[in-house]
Structure 1
Amino acid sequence: MKKNMFLPLSLFVLLYLISAMLRTDAIQIDLAVKNQAPSLGHLFGTDWLGRDMLQRTLKGIQLSISVGLLTALLSTLLGLTLSLIATMHQRLDQLVAWLIDLFLSLPHLVTLILISFVLGGGMKGIIIGLMATHWTGTARVLRAELMQLKDMPYVQMSKHLGRGFWWRARHHFLPHLIPQLIVGFTLIFPHAILHEAAITFLGFGLSAEVPAIGIILSEAMQYLSNGMWWLVFFPGLLLVVMVVLFQQFAHAFQAYIGRDRSYEQLIDD
């Protein structure tokens, strides 16, 4: 089980480190080698400006991973915060439940595009849009857990002894929720990457100057009819490979913590 979990994670981290070591200014324009098919000199070929597609794709992968990690972290924290607020009072619980139902009922991609468009696109728009549309699943699971946990005898004992809500949240709630938070993070991350690439491809995400996968695919579409298939194939393939590697790790990790084990046992392992 551990091998199934850490092998895809190791490949994923290796892919990110390779892309992170590549400098953006190393992607040079060279019109003498423009529109070249894949070869030993340019494994992913070159684009209409002679830029090496392997280097551009790796930088796009780095950006996608960075945006995905930040978005997944913020979405998980937002889901945790709202689920904790829901346990404070019945009225607040009704408000949080209404917000969850509201965002779940809205078309996911359309809502993301609207939020990004209203905020002017760019990095800020894409991160806030992804965060605002990916927290609901985590919040719903955590809220259900907390509704059961707050009625446990030891939690009620702490309340009667005068312990405040945030003390109970830190000492009783959070240690119990850590596995669910990790699982929520691993579920949000691949979706955030794909949705970032999708809305950037549609022109509502990152700016054209950024070497994002969505930008690369969008620019390449006008050259696809000229037989330059490598401009779309390799960036799209590497994006899919990256998402599949992380999903394999996520599924193995969820199976691992799904056993009847406490969080302390997981740490000891």
Structure 2
Amino acid sequence: MNRRQKTLMTTLCAALLLIAVVAGALLIGEERIATNFEIRNAPPSLEHPFGTDWLGRDMLARTLKGLTVSIGVGVIAATASAVIALVLGMLAATMGKMVDSAITWLIDLLLGVPHLVALILISFTLGGGLKGVVVGIALTHWPSLARVIRAEVMQLRTAEYVLISRKLGKSQWWIASRHILPHMLPQLLVGFVLLFPHAILHEASISFLGLGLSPHQPAIGIILSESMRYLTSGMWWLAFFPGISLLMIVRAFDILGENLRKLTDPHSAHQ
């Protein structure tokens, strides 16, 4: 298959996987995650494919609901981060050297700090929870995309049709909205798809460390953190199935983002 066919196939598989997870979480009743000591610590079976935990809760239901929470956090945070990158990238390329220098310095500063460290600091400052995680991810994942958008806008500024519009007296806002922004939409889409799996992983990471979502929410990071104390008892399914499910979601969208990036790249789009 060529690049377009691979991208279409990957998009279809990722969309089906996403729909299956969300639909499964919505269709499963609350009784599946209710406490039932009669079936606690049950290994995987036909009735409970992912087994049950120490409280008798079905791990398949908990995993699907946890993935849905992580997906929701990832979508919100990746969208906010992509919007920040678009705004700052365009400002850096169009508002003069002083603004460009300030935004470039901020990009270099954030790229020099590990994402997880900055995310933990921001989330802890905001008191953790859903708000802290979303704001932390949104404020730490935009620099790489902003740098790409800035470079693209710098090239578009010297394009012939942009120079003609400027000579015809068109305003900076008109040029940005009619000429530059439409060219940025593919980059923005690719950036969002690539940010999405990183957002999910980082949300799971800080929730695992106890600095993210509330322990009462069935997030994957919370499930993995709770299962650690039972692994030495041989209850391997408590961490294996949620972990492999998270890995499948992240890997699917990582491959999709990489194929979209290569498809928008003129040097590899023809492959």
Structure-2 change in CA distance of 1:167 and 1:21 (3 Å): farther
AA partner of residue 16 (structure 1): V
Structure-2 change in CA distance of 1:23 and 1:124 (3 Å): farther
> Partner residue of 1:41?
47
User: Could you tell me how far 1:260 is from its partner in structure 2?
Assistant: 7.5
Distance 1:64 1:194 in 2: 9
- Residue 152 of structure 2 is aligned to residue 127 of structure 1: no
Tell whether the 8 Å contact from 2:133 to 2:213 is kept in structure 1 after alignment. Answer: yes
- Residue 72 of structure 2 is aligned to residue 66 of structure 1: yes
Tell whether the 8 Å contact from 1:142 to 1:180 is kept in structure 2 after alignment. Answer: yes
- Residue 88 of structure 2 is aligned to residue 82 of structure 1: yes
Distance 1:130 1:142 in 2: 19
Distance 1:7 1:144 in 2: 32
- Secondary structure of 1:225's partner? helix
> Partner residue of 1:12?
18
> Partner residue of 1:231?
238
Deviates more, 1:23-32 or 1:108-117: 23-32
After superposition, give the CA deviation of every residue in 1:145-196 in whole Å (9 maximum; x if it has no partner). Answer: 1111112232122223332222111101111111111111111111110110
- Residue 257 of structure 2 is aligned to residue 250 of structure 1: yes
User: Could you tell me how far 1:97 is from its partner in structure 2?
Assistant: 0.4
- Secondary structure of 2:138's partner? helix
User: Could you tell me how far 1:244 is from its partner in structure 2?
Assistant: 1.4
> Partner residue of 2:121?
114
> Partner residue of 2:202?
195
AA partner of residue 65 (structure 2): K
Structure-2 change in CA distance of 1:158 and 1:25 (3 Å): farther
Unaligned runs of 5+ in 2: none
Show the 5 A alignment for 1:113-192: 113-192=120-199
Structure-2 change in CA distance of 1:146 and 1:118 (3 Å): same
- Residue 59 of structure 2 is aligned to residue 53 of structure 1: yes
After superposition, give the CA deviation of every residue in 1:89-122 in whole Å (9 maximum; x if it has no partner). Answer: 2111111101100100112211110000000000
Given the two structures, how large is their TM-score scaled by the length of structure 1? 0.92
Distance 1:46 1:68 in 2: 27
Structure-2 change in CA distance of 1:67 and 1:23 (3 Å): farther
Distance 2:267 2:182 in 1: 15
Structure-2 change in CA distance of 1:167 and 1:211 (3 Å): same
Distance 2:123 2:9 in 1: 39
Distance 2:15 2:39 in 1: 36
Distance 1:261 1:154 in 2: 26
AA partner of residue 112 (structure 1): L
Given the two structures, how large is their TM-score scaled by the length of structure 2? 0.91
Tell whether the 8 Å contact from 2:186 to 2:264 is kept in structure 1 after alignment. Answer: yes
- Residue 209 of structure 2 is aligned to residue 209 of structure 1: no
Deviates more, 1:87-96 or 1:191-200: 87-96
After superposition, give the CA deviation of every residue in 1:113-152 in whole Å (9 maximum; x if it has no partner). Answer: 0000000000000000001110011100000111111122
AA partner of residue 199 (structure 2): A
- Secondary structure of 1:48's partner? coil
- Secondary structure of 1:205's partner? coil
Distance 1:67 1:180 in 2: 22
Distance 1:43 1:224 in 2: 18
The number of residue pairs the alignment matches comes to: 262
